Structure 1
Amino acid sequence: MNGFREALHEQRWDDHRYYHHSIVNQSLHFVSASTFLVAYVVLFFDPAIASLLGWLVAMTTRQSGHFFFEPKGYDHVNKATHEYKEEVKVGYNLFRKWVLMGIWAACPVVLLLQPELFGLLTPHDGFISFARNVAMMWLVLAGSALLFRVLQLFIQRDVQTGVVWAVKILTDPISDFRLYCRAPGKLMRGVRIDSELQEAARH
Structure 2
Amino acid sequence: MNGFLQDLRSQRWDDHRYYHHSRINQSLHLFSAVSFLWTYVLVFTNPVAAALAGWLAAMMTRQIGHFFFEPKGYDEANHATHEYKEAVKVGYNLKRKVVLMAIWAASPLVLYFNPTLFGIYPAPANTAEFVRELAQIWLFIAAGGLIFRTVHLFFIRDVRTGLVWLTKILTDPYHDIKLYHMAPLYLLRGELFDYATPEEQHV
Which TM bucket (shorter chain)?
over 0.9
Matches within 5 A, 1:42-121: 42-121=42-121
For 1:140, give the aligned amino acid. F
For 2:172, give the aligned amino acid. D
Q: 1:41 maps to which residue? A: 41
Between 1:114-123 and 1:101-110, the stretch displaced more is 114-123
Matches within 5 A, 1:122-137: 122-137=122-137
| Percent of residue pairs identical | 58
What is the number of residues matched between the two proteins? 202
* TM superposition shift of 1:92: 0.1
* TM superposition shift of 1:118: 1.8
Deviation sequence 1:104-149 (CA, Å, 0-9, x none): 0000000001111122223222222211211110100000010110
5+ long unaligned stretches in structure 2: none
5+ long unaligned stretches in structure 1: none
Deviation sequence 1:55-108 (CA, Å, 0-9, x none): 001000000000000000000110000000000000000000011000000000
- Is residue 2:19 matched to residue 1:19? yes
* TM superposition shift of 1:177: 1.2
Q: 1:197 to 1:179 in 2, by over 3 A?
A: farther
Q: Is the 1:21–1:197 contact (alpha carbons within 8 Å) kept by the matching residues of 2?
A: no
Q: Is the 1:73–1:81 contact (alpha carbons within 8 Å) kept by the matching residues of 2?
A: yes
TM-score normalised to structure 1 length: 0.96
Q: 1:156 maps to which residue? A: 156
Q: Is the 2:39–2:50 contact (alpha carbons within 8 Å) kept by the matching residues of 1?
A: yes
Q: Is the 2:19–2:70 contact (alpha carbons within 8 Å) kept by the matching residues of 1?
A: yes
Q: 1:143 maps to which residue? A: 143
Between 1:145-154 and 1:186-195, the stretch displaced more is 186-195
Q: 1:191 maps to which residue? A: 191
Q: Is the 1:42–1:49 contact (alpha carbons within 8 Å) kept by the matching residues of 2?
A: yes
Rounded to whole Å, the distance in 2 between the matches of 1:197 and 1:110 is: 46
* TM superposition shift of 1:188: 1.4
Runs of 4+ in 1 over 3 A off after TM superposition: 196-199
Q: 1:120 to 1:62 in 2, by over 3 A?
A: same
TM-score normalised to structure 2 length: 0.96
For 2:83, give the aligned amino acid. E
Between 1:29-38 and 1:189-198, the stretch displaced more is 189-198
Q: 1:10 maps to which residue? A: 10
Deviation sequence 1:132-191 (CA, Å, 0-9, x none): 211110100000010110111000000000000000000101111111111111111111
